[in-house]
Amino acid sequence: MRCIGLITIGSAAMILGCSSVGYYAQSIHGQWDILVRSEPITDVIRQPDTTETLKRKLTQVLEIRRFASDVLSLPDNGSYTRYADLGRRYAVWNVFAAPEFSLTAVTWCFPIVGCVVYRGYFKLQDARRFAERLEAQDKDVFIGGVPAYSTLGWFTDPMLNTVMHYSDEDLAGLVFHELAHQLIHVKDDSVFNESFATTVELEGVRRWIQAGGDASRINAYRERKGRDRKVVALILKYKERLSQLYASDTDKAWMRTQKRALTDELREQFRALVAPWEGYDRFAQWFSGPINNAKLVAVVAYHDLVPAFEALLSRHRRDLAKFFTEAKQLASMSKDARNARLKAEL
């Protein structure tokens, strides 16, 4: 899973302050390190030691960045016009947590950015230490590596080495997703924010491929995303079954056994689903490790409202200007009213 475009609490805490001095310090250091490492993409392309592969990728990034503003009307600023090599696989590691018998995520709250369902760390060992503290409180915990994130326009977000292995389509999706966060962000509603950005990502990539005129790429992208949707739908189906189990409020030992049985069944259903899809390895890492409530919460944050946003976009005949206007209206509502309005689209 990408965050697969994320708004990390690390960067937010750097701007806004944090209840933990240690967390505040790692946030400042981590964000500052990214900023000082970054340089204009045009300079990197001209450097003689830049590989031809990296030059091609960065040239593509600049074209994607122009498309984002010129065609999709996403924020036109310096984000993704710079490049930084962090010398590591992920930009940050996000920690998700939930109670053993609940799919209500643990949240962490900060001014302006509001309450979010994950807490970001720039070093894996720091994320692991925090996860251990949560596990000691009998929480289900999941640590997800995040290749890139948005600072909501507070900084000029650079393109990172952590995503240079992406396909051109996924690079485009990353840029569109993160710029969507800069366009609309609602305090205390991670699911709204991520589902909106995911919808913009999918529509943006579809248009970007169409602009290139390569029908085969359009079909391949649609097929891959269709398969992704089927996997996500399967995960959300079992999320609902687990929610029903927890609502029964029966004996904890019995619920623990049933929980294990359901997550084992989910894994088997995934294997059966993807077996005919030759070469499909997306979500393979997600399913390779233990499945718990925190891991399910991470999926819900990015996809739960996507079908509703897709329906809203279709109702506006895929007119992004009208879609953005209504999304901003939704953002001004209370969370309950916003969710009721979105679910009425289905």
Residue-level pLDDT at 7: 39
DSSP classification of residue 6: B
Q: What is the pLDDT of residues 148-180, one digit of tens each?
A: 988 888 899 999 999 999 999 999 999 999 999
Roughly how many angstroms between the first and final C-alpha of the chain, as a whole number?
25
Residue-level pLDDT at 8: 43
Segments of the chain with pLDDT less than 70: 1-20, 110-113
Q: What is the pLDDT of residues 126-143, one digit of tens each?
A: 999 999 999 999 999 999
Residue-level pLDDT at 187: 87
Residue-level pLDDT at 226: 93
Helices H / strands E in the chain, number of each: 14, 8
- Among 45, 49, 123, 34, smallest CA distance to 84 is for 34
Residue-level pLDDT at 51: 97
Residue-level pLDDT at 26: 87
Residue-level pLDDT at 222: 86
Residue 144's DSSP bridge partners are: 94
Residue-level pLDDT at 214: 82
How far, in Å, CA of 329 to CA of 323, rounded? 10
User: What CA–CA distances, in Å, run from 117 to 22, 94, 109, 141, 333?
Assistant: 20, 9, 9, 12, 20
Residue-level pLDDT at 287: 96
Kindly give the residue spans of alpha helices, DSSP state H, lying in 117-189: 124-135, 168-183
